[in-house]
């Protein structure tokens, strides 16, 4: 029983140490893969604008969009 408890304590200590080391060296993807030719700010605000919430407006929904959605619904229902 004693070797098992030592192994559990060692595993917890190793996991904690690894999490501390990895969190210290971890970078976000847009920071890590930045190149001199590309200038990116924090993703999320520079691509769609500050006032974008993801919901379509009435102007975005046309008859063609409705027909496409209906066709996709029928295709999914038939398969």
Nearest partner of 21 among 33, 11, 13, 29, judged by Cα? 13
Q: What pLDDT, on a 0 to 100 scale, did the predictor assign at position 19?
A: 94
- Determine the straight-line distance between the first and last CA of the chain, rounded to whole angstroms: 57
Could you list the pLDDT tens digit for every one of the 79 residues in the chain?
999 999 999 999 999 999 999 988 888 777 777 677 666 565 555 566 667 676 777 776 777 777 887 888 787 766 5
User: From CA 14, how far away is CA 8, in angstroms rounded?
Assistant: 10
Q: What pLDDT, on a 0 to 100 scale, did the predictor assign at position 30?
A: 72
Q: What pLDDT, on a 0 to 100 scale, did the predictor assign at position 57?
A: 72
Q: What pLDDT, on a 0 to 100 scale, did the predictor assign at position 64?
A: 74
On whether the CB atoms of residues 32 and 40 are closer than 8 A, the answer is: no
Q: What pLDDT, on a 0 to 100 scale, did the predictor assign at position 45?
A: 54
Alpha helices by DSSP H, listed for 1-79, are: 2-25, 29-32, 63-78
């Amino acid at each position: 029983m004693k070797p098992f408890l030592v192994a559990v304590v060692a595993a917890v200590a190793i996991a904690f140490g690894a999490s501390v080391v990895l969190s210290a060296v971890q970078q976000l993807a847009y920071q890590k893969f930045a190149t001199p030719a590309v200038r990116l700010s924090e993703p999320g605000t520079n691509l769609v604008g500050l006032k974008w919430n993801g919901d379509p407006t009435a102007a975005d929904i046309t008859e063609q969009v409705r027909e496409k959605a209906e066709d996709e619904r029928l295709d999914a229902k038939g398969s």
